[in-house]
Amino acid sequence: MLRIKHLAVLLALACPTAALAANSGTSIALNFGADEPNGAEEGMVNGAAGVAGTKNWNNLILNIGDGSDEIFLDVGGQAQTSGVSVDWDSANTWSTDGRGEDTNNAPDANDRALMLGYLDTSDVSVTQINISGIPDSLATGGYDVFVYVQNGVLNRGGTYTVSDATGSHEQSNITTTIFDGTYIEGEEGNYLVYRGLSGSDLTIEAMATDTTLFRGPVNAVEICQLNACTALPNAVFGRDNIGDQAVTGDRTNPVYGPAGDSGPGLVQEWFAVGNPGNKGAIDDIANNNSPVVAPFRNASGTTWWSGSDAPVGGDMLNYPDEVQPQLVDNYTVRLTGEIKIDESGTYRFADGVDDYTYLAIDLDKSGVAGDDPSEVLIDDNAWTGVYRADNGGGDGWAEADIDVANGGEWLKIEFNMGEGGGGDAGIVYWDYDPNAPEGQRIGGGVGFPDDTTMSIDPADAEFLLIPSTHLRSDAAPLLSGDIKAKAETSDPLQFDVNCTTNQSDKLSVDNPNPAAYTTYLDVDGSTFDIKSTGACVNGASFKIVDANNITGTPTITSQTAGQNWVFNAATGTVTLGGGLTGDYDGNGQLDLADLNLQAAAMANGGPAATYDLTNDGLVNYDDRLAWVNTLKKTWMGDANLDGEFNTTDFVSVFTSGKFETGAAADWSEGDWSGDGLFTSADFVVAFQEGGYEQGTRAAVAAVPEPSSMVLAMLSLFGVLGLTRRR
């Protein structure tokens, strides 16, 4: 997949040791809603989490607590009893994932758990948390309060008041981004900080800022010794987890082929214009505006999208991958194509759309859906959620008598939706079950609502979607295009690398169609902070950035004192040790010690992260040859590493007296093949190259002719004879 389109440029960057920001003092860490989603206890935190990577969290469950939970402190990473009492009261608990909402896509680890469950509010309720008995070391010396506030619905938020001995302090927040493991402070982030507070008692109150866009969530509260908790670098794929994190980019320069490749799904047109509330206005939008991306068919395997709600099973996504930048508010969509009606009968349809819905089917088979008013099944500006459980289900419910020929027919269909603000979704259900026995398919969709006010059981929803097998359209195929993304620049990014398992975090560009798109990742101005584990030696190399084109110069820092990692923009790799590939002992030279370390690695099978020079995942003779020929630029057989293979090298190796003795030998003693012995096999690998008495490798334009090789072998036998007579 990787297609590097520019010359390799090694960025030999200054690599200071990062001043590790972390929890260096005493803290009280409280994780609320730990039994979410809905009693599953996926919100339990069992290790380092939060902005400062605090290790010991109190996992608190239920929406009301009476102060009976035993609360412990985190003191420099160790749990200690505290005498602290905590009670809380909220309308309910909820979750940022798994409860019909989805704003938490962080890797399955402690940071995800911390931001999963939360104390919830209604439109008018107030959540209150009372903390008493704060130890004197904090109460008198001062502390900072971190309040984690990731909402289950984007673009909603609350107002938070923290009261201590000095008075009351208020801040507001609105959740604007899906949590991917990145902590963002501030009004549009996912946590708030109240600095320089004091006193043994603390009260936190949360309420909706706007009663029409409620809520005021509290995922967690952390009371940290003054200035002791400062932000760690945001971790790629989660702290202490290794994996691939994709960066979303802007899609540009699309080139499409001719239309006519009919396939499953409906053609989609997305416009960055808010819900106009009626069909005529949507037509005006489509006629007078360009879509944000060229019309496309389907949405990564599913026609429908769940928006701010959790996907309804299967391969549904929150939003189509094709729409970049992603639209979450104030947009309009038009879908067109054909629907397969297998048999005649009365069909029922319902929407899970927020806000406006238009659905028409070409019942009279004129070739146009909606050209007769009787073909308009739903024309509804009353919003509802994906399961039709909100706003009384809206008005998006309809019946239609459809007559088709035996064997079924494809009829034109058009679906429009308009999104104004708050939640959003675009889903259409029907009561037809194509997998039911013949005669039971119409009306066979289990759980389909009997009227407008009824909701759909989440367990049934996936099976009531109009599937892509019964939808088709013609769309122009994407031939090529660019995806341009930028790495985080405001805060450092932590990359975990493991020198024992040869694994590392990787930052890539989200690419839904690698065959068509070329990816670009700009790393200029970014700081990549390397956190290594295992026995890392100089030469250890890891691919941490994966894109077809990597531009810019990042700053590389290390969490381990004395480690100097160097970034190569051509390959996206970081290498330990001054950038001199093959310098395994880190002395700045390619010498005998490096060859001996390589031979040991060949015997042990790695680690490949350090010794695999050919990038085939193995450590073997091919890597030996690459070190000698490509890095050292000399010949197999050059025992003294002076750049030439000649008689002097024979004298040197036979002086060691290890030829065919079975004794352990190194490169200088004749082990050129890397098997740890000096045998006739070493002469074979040396003379295969044809470098004997040819001078330096750089001066030789071609491999010597066979006749030269013969002469060289005769010379060798002469040397052997002399050695034996001695």
Interval 82-107: pLDDT, tens = 999 999 999 999 999 888 677 888 88
Q: Encode pLDDT of 296-348 as tens digits.
A: 887 666 799 999 888 887 788 899 988 877 888 889 999 999 999 999 999 99
In our burial notation (b when 16+ CB lie closer than 10 A, e otherwise), range 693-718 reads ebeebeeeeeebeeeebeebeeebee
Pairing of strands 428-430, 234-235: unpaired
3-state secondary structure of 391: helix
Residues 124 and 213: their CA atoms lie apart, in Å, by: 11
What domains does the chain contain, in order, with CATH numbers?
A: 26-235 (2.60.120), 260-478 (2.60.120), 486-579 (no CATH), 633-725 (no CATH)
Please report which helix (H) or strand (E) contains residue 584, including its range.
none
3-state secondary structure of 222: strand
- Residue appearing with tokens 């030999």: 12
Give pLDDT, residue 641. 94
Query: CA dist 544 to 273, 493, 506, Å?
Result: 38, 11, 4
Give pLDDT, residue 23. 62
- SS3 for 664-706, per residue? CCCHHHCCCCCCCCCCHHHHHHHHHHCCECCCCHHHCCCCCCH
3-state secondary structure of 723: helix
The residues near 40 (Cβ < 8 Å, ≥ 6 apart) are 98
CA 125 to chain CA centroid, Å, is 36
| Residue 166 pLDDT > 90 | yes
Comparison of pLDDT for 249 and 642, the residue scoring more: 642
Pairing of strands 506-509, 244-247: parallel
Residues 293 and 291: their CA atoms lie apart, in Å, by: 5
Query: CA dist 451 to 348, 395, 428, 448, Å?
Result: 10, 9, 15, 9
Residues 670 and 667: their CA atoms lie apart, in Å, by: 5
Comparison of pLDDT for 251 and 283, the residue scoring more: 283
Are 217 and 116 in contact, with CB atoms under 8 Å apart? no
Give pLDDT, residue 422. 77
| Residue 673 pLDDT > 90 | yes
| Residue 706 pLDDT > 50 | no
Closest by CA position to 495, among listed 247, 248, 235: 235
Q: Which residues pair with 169 in a beta bridge?
A: 162
Give pLDDT, residue 586. 65
Give pLDDT, residue 232. 85
**pLDDT, averaged across the chain:** 87
3-state secondary structure of 253: strand
In our burial notation (b when 16+ CB lie closer than 10 A, e otherwise), range 505-528 reads bbbbbebeeeebbbbbbbbeebbb
Query: CA dist 22 to 18, 234, 490, 680, Å?
Result: 11, 12, 18, 58
Amino acid at position 323, single letter: V
Q: Which residues pair with 255 in a beta bridge?
A: 480
Please report which helix (H) or strand (E) contains residue 171, including its range.
strand 167-174
Q: Encode pLDDT of 510-519 as tens digits.
A: 887 888 899 9
Q: How much of the chain exceeds pLDDT 70, in percent?
A: 91
Q: Which residues pair with 81 in a beta bridge?
A: 72
